[in-house]
A and B are shown apart, each in its own frame.
Chain A
Amino acid sequence: MSTFDHRFSRRRFLQASAAVGATVSLGGITAACNVVGQQGGTFNWMTWGDHYIDSQLKAIEESDKIIANITELAGNAEGFAKLKEVKGQLDMISGDALWVPAYYDEGLIEAININDFKVASQLYPLAREFKIWTVPGGYLGYPFGWSPISIYYNPKFVDPAPDSWEVLLDPKYKGRVVVENQPEEIVAYMGKASGVEDPYNMTDDQLATVKGLLEQLKPNVLRFAQQSIDSVNSMISEEAWLITGNLGNEDRVKEGGGPEIKSFIPKEGTVGWMDAEMTVKEGANKSLLKPFLEKAEQAENIAANFLAQGRPLFNEAAYKILVNSGEKDRADRYLYNKPETVNSMTLKGPGLSTAKSIQLFNEVFGA
C-alpha cells in the first residue's frame, strides 16, 4: 500500500467525506433556520375555511414571506383528535370556546401573552379577558369570531313567524329543513328544544327525550348540508324553507339572488361558538405565528372577512371601519357591536355525552 493509499484508505476517505457532508448539512440547516427566523417561512395551520381570505394570505406572503400551509378543519373533535396524533406537525389550530381549555389541559397548546400582540389592542376588551381562556401563564388563543346558532326561515312559506326550535319539528314542513352535517350539534339543538341547559352533557333521561324529538325531526330534514354555503344555496333555490346556521345568512341568501329570509334565536336558548387561534406547543414553526397574526388580524382584513362571511368578529377596530364604510346596519344586525352576547350562549365544548349523542343520531337517522 502506498503512503497515499495508507493515508487515504477507502474507509478513511468515506469517513472524511461523511464528516464534511454532515458539517455542510448542519451549516445549511442552521443557516436556513436563521433565514426562516429573519425572512419568514412556512407554518402549518389547521383551520376553518372562513378564517382567512386568499388575497390576505397572499399579501402576507409577499410582504413578510410567511406562508400559511392550511389544512381544512372539519370539526372541533376531529381537530382535537388529529392534533393529539400529529402534535408538532401543526403550528396553529383553530378551536371553539370550551374546546380551547381542553386542548390546554391535554398539553397540546401553550398560552400566549395577548398583550404582546400590538394588533390585540384592536380587540373588544372583553375578548382579551374571557375567563375560560385565561390561565396563570397567559391567554389560550387569539380571539377571532363568534356566533349563536340561529334558525332562518322563508316567511313566504313559514307562517306564523316562529320563535322556537319546535318549528323544525312541525309536520307542515316535511322535507323542508336543511341542517349542517354535524350530528353532535343536531342532537344539541334538540337538547335545547327540550329545555336542557347543557346539551353537550346530557343524562340518559334527557337523551331519551331528545331521541323522541330527533324522530320528529327526521322526516322534516331534506338533507344534511356539507357546509354552510349548501344551506344558503338551498334557501336561495327555495328547496328549503328552514335552515340553521351562524348569523349573517340573510344577506348571503339575498346576495345569491334568493328570497328575503328572516331569522330568530329560539326562545329556549341556543348553542353558540366563539373561536380562537391556538399556538401548538410542539409546533416547529410557531415563531412565525406572532408576525403572521399581527398582519392577518389587522382591522382591514377582519372587516373584509366580515363582509365576505357575515358573522360577528372580535375586532372592534374592524367594526369602526364597517361603520365608516356604510355597513353599520349590517354589522349591528349581526350583533357585531354586542360581543357580550357570547355570555348568554351555551358554548360549544367537549361533552360527557358525545359518544351517546352520536349513537343516538345514528340510531335515528340510520335505516
Chain B
Amino acid sequence: MSAEIVGGAAVAPPTTMTIGRGARLRQLAPFLPAGVILIGLFFAPLALMLVFSFWQTNEKLDIVATWSLQNYANFFDNPTYVRTLAKTIIIGAGATVACLLMAFAIAYFLARYVPRRWATIALLAIVVPFWTSYLLRVYSWQAILGEFGAINQVLMGLGLISEPSRLFVYNDASTFIVLVYVYLPFAALALYASLERFDFTQLTAAQDLGARPDQAFRHILLPQIRPGIITACIFVFIPILGEFLTPIMVGGANGLLIANLVSNFFRNALIPEGAAVAFMIAALVTLLLIVFRRYLQIEDVVARG
C-alpha cells in the first residue's frame, strides 16, 4: 500500500500507524511489572484511602459513602492534630539530622580509613541489630533508659545521683534517642554506598590548589555524595512520620506522635476519620518527595548507576 497525497502532504497508511503504536507498546512492556506493582500497591491503596477519607462512620461502625469534608475539617479545626503533626515533623527532622551526622562520621571513617574487608565486617555489625525484632530492640531501651534501668544504675553507682532519675524515659527526648538508634543503620548504609565510590584524592588535589579543608568538603565531597544524603533523609525522615510503636513504648503519655492518633482511629474501626489524618501525612510525604527529587537531580543517580 502506498501513501496517499492529501493536500500536498503524504499521509501514512493506517497499517504504519498500527505498527508504530505496537512498537511503542513493546517498548513500554518492560515497565509493565513495575507499573502493576506501583498501581496495585501504591496508587490503588492511596486512592482507596483518599475516597474513604471523604466518607463517614455511622454508629454501627459501618462506613457510609456520604461525601463530605468533615474529617478534614476535624483535622484543621482541632489544633491538637496540627500541633502533633508539627511535633512529629520536628522530631523527625531532628532525628534525621542526628542520624546523618552520626552516619556520616561512621561511613566516612569506614570508606576512607578502613580496608574494604574490614569495612564490610563493620557494616555487617551495623546491620546485625536488624536481625532481632524491632519490638525487642525498643523494649531493650526501656531497660536502658528506665527509672531502674542501666543508665540510672551507672549514675547511682558513680555517686552522681542519689536516687533514680525519671528524666531519661517516657518523654520526647527518649523517643528521639530511640528513633535515632532505630534509623541510624539506614542512614549509615546509604551514605557508605555513596562514600565508598568517592575518590578521596580529589580532596587532596583541591587543597593542593588552595582550597581550605571545609571548602574542599563543601564543594568537592558534598555534591558528589548528595544522592546518598538524600536517600538517607528519605529512609529516615519519612518512616518516622509514621512511627507509632516507639512513641507509645518509650514516649509515655506525653510523647505521642501523629501516627498514634491515627492508630487510635483505626483500632476503633473509625476508618474514614483515620484515613483523613493518614492522608494528610501521605500528602506531606509526597510533597517532601517532590522537593527531594528536585534537589536530587536525577542525572546524579544515573551517572552513578
Interface residues in A152-193 (C-beta closer than 8 Å to B) = 175, 181, 183-184
**Residue A224 is within 8 A (CB to CB) of chain B in the complex:** yes
Docked pose: A78 CA to B267 CA in angstroms: 5
Q: Is the CB of B59 within 8 A of A367?
A: no
Docked pose: A74 CA to B59 CA in angstroms: 20
Q: Which residues of A contact B87 (CB under 8 A)?
A: 367
**Residue A361 is within 8 A (CB to CB) of chain B in the complex:** yes
Tell whether A237 pairs with B146 under 8 Å between CB atoms, given A80-B269, A366-B83: yes
Q: Is the CB of A223 within 8 A of B170?
A: yes
**Residue A354 is within 8 A (CB to CB) of chain B in the complex:** yes
Q: Is the CB of A75 within 8 A of B261?
A: no
Docked pose: A280 CA to B237 CA in angstroms: 42
Closest to A177 in B: B253
Total count of chain A residues near the partner, CB < 8 A: 36
Q: Which residues of A contact B248 (CB under 8 A)?
A: 181, 223-224, 226
Docked pose: A226 CA to B249 CA in angstroms: 8
**Residue A123 is within 8 A (CB to CB) of chain B in the complex:** no
CB B140 to nearest CB in A, in angstroms, measures 14
Q: Which residues of B contact A75 (CB under 8 A)?
A: 267-268
Q: Is the CB of A359 within 8 A of B253?
A: no
**Residue B270 is within 8 A (CB to CB) of chain A in the complex:** yes
Q: Which residues of A contact B78 (CB under 8 A)?
A: 359, 362-363
Q: Is the CB of A224 within 8 A of B270?
A: no
Docked pose: A2 CA to B267 CA in angstroms: 69
Q: Is the CB of A359 within 8 A of B74?
A: yes
**Residue B297 is within 8 A (CB to CB) of chain A in the complex:** no
Residues 248-271 of B, flagged 1 when their CB comes within 8 A of A and 0 if not, give 110111101000010011111111
Q: Is the CB of B61 within 8 A of A222?
A: no
Partner of B253, one of A78, A106, A218, A238: A218
**Residue B147 is within 8 A (CB to CB) of chain A in the complex:** yes
**Residue A350 is within 8 A (CB to CB) of chain B in the complex:** yes
Q: Which residues of A contact B269 (CB under 8 A)?
A: 77-78, 80-81
**Residue A355 is within 8 A (CB to CB) of chain B in the complex:** yes
Tell whether A354 pairs with B253 under 8 Å between CB atoms, given A80-B61, A366-B81, A366-B83: no
Q: Which residues of A contact B59 (CB under 8 A)?
A: 350, 352, 354
Q: Is the CB of B148 within 8 A of A366?
A: no
CB A131 to nearest CB in B, in angstroms, measures 21
Interface residues in B70-118 (C-beta closer than 8 Å to A) = 74, 78, 80-81, 83-84, 86-87
Interface residues in B219-262 (C-beta closer than 8 Å to A) = 248-249, 251-254, 256, 261
CB B252 to nearest CB in A, in angstroms, measures 4
Residues 265-296 of B, flagged 1 when their CB comes within 8 A of A and 0 if not, give 11111110100000000000000000000000
**Residue A293 is within 8 A (CB to CB) of chain B in the complex:** no
**Residue A102 is within 8 A (CB to CB) of chain B in the complex:** yes
Partner of A365, one of B166, B256, B265: B256
CB A63 to nearest CB in B, in angstroms, measures 33
Q: Which residues of A contact B253 (CB under 8 A)?
A: 218-219, 221-224, 365
B residues within 8 Å of A by Cβ? 57, 59-62, 74, 78, 80-81, 83-84, 86-87, 146-148, 166, 170, 248-249, 251-254, 256, 261, 264-271, 273
A residues within 8 Å of B by Cβ? 74-75, 77-78, 80-81, 84, 102, 106, 175, 181, 183-184, 218-219, 221-224, 226, 237-239, 350, 352, 354-355, 358-359, 361-367
Q: Which 8 A-B pairs have the closest CB atoms?
A: A81-B269, A221-B253, A366-B80, A366-B84, A367-B84, A77-B269, A367-B87, A223-B252
Known: A222-B170, A223-B248, A366-B261. 17 other contacts (CB 8 A): A77-B267, A175-B252, A183-B268, A219-B254, A221-B253, A223-B253, A237-B148, A354-B59, A354-B268, A355-B57, A355-B273, A358-B270, A361-B264, A362-B78, A362-B80, A363-B78, A364-B80
